[in-house]
Amino acid sequence: MIDIKGKALKFGDNINTDIISPPQYMEMGIEEASIHAMEAVDKDFAKRVKKGDIIAAGKNFGSGSSRETSPLALKYLGVSAVVSVFFARIFYRNCINVGLPVVECEEAEKIGEGDNIEIDIEEGTINNITKQETYKCSKLPPHIMKILESGGLRNMLMQEYKENNNE
């Protein structure tokens, strides 16, 4: 089970991968590139994000190119999950592949900057502690939960390989 609790960092609609992880920094390592995450819409994002924070966004989060650096930068900075009304499909899958939980919630726009929220992925609920509200969100199936609990697809596959080869 993944327990996700954190402070919301609020963003609007159509935050694309060029905003999340600017392309001019793609050749850098993730440590250096992540400093520039979200700077087109929040120049201080990398400085103010804290481990465990949760991004709460509007519609179409992660549209654009399929670069894996976007979810990697968010995860590296300490983002524990991303909530959006809906995601671009490739970004959604890249998040899961790198072990960053993502949930869709029609009421994501009700979450405010700084709200303390708890996400129960298995039950499909988001509790907004600050506003004392509960929102329905997408539930993630067991095979996706297994990937997230392993810290990403690569980690899960390596664990399975070791188990199957008695290493």
Q: What is the pLDDT of residues 79-107, one digit of tens each?
A: 999 999 999 999 999 999 999 999 999 99
Give the CATH number of the domain where residue 138 resides: 3.20.19.10
3-state secondary structure of 117: strand
The range of the structural domain enclosing residue 92 comes to: 4-164
Q: Which residues contact 102 (CB under 8 A, 6 or more apart)?
A: 81, 82, 83, 84, 87, 92, 95, 96
Give the integer Cα–Cα distance in Å for 3 and 74.
18
The pTM score is 0.92
At 167 the pLDDT is 62
**Residue 77's pLDDT band (cuts 50, 70, 90):** very high
Give the integer Cα–Cα distance in Å for 115 and 124.
19
**Residue 3's pLDDT band (cuts 50, 70, 90):** confident
At 73 the pLDDT is 96
Structure tokens of 95? 């998040």
HSE on the CB side for 126, CA within 13 Å?
Answer: 32
The model's pLDDT over 100-118, given as tens digits with 9 standing for 90+, comes to 999 999 999 999 999 999 9
The model's pLDDT over 120-158, given as tens digits with 9 standing for 90+, comes to 998 999 999 999 999 999 998 999 999 999 999 988 898
Give the integer Cα–Cα distance in Å for 111 and 11.
10
Give the integer Cα–Cα distance in Å for 119 and 33.
28
What domain count does the chain have?
Answer: 1
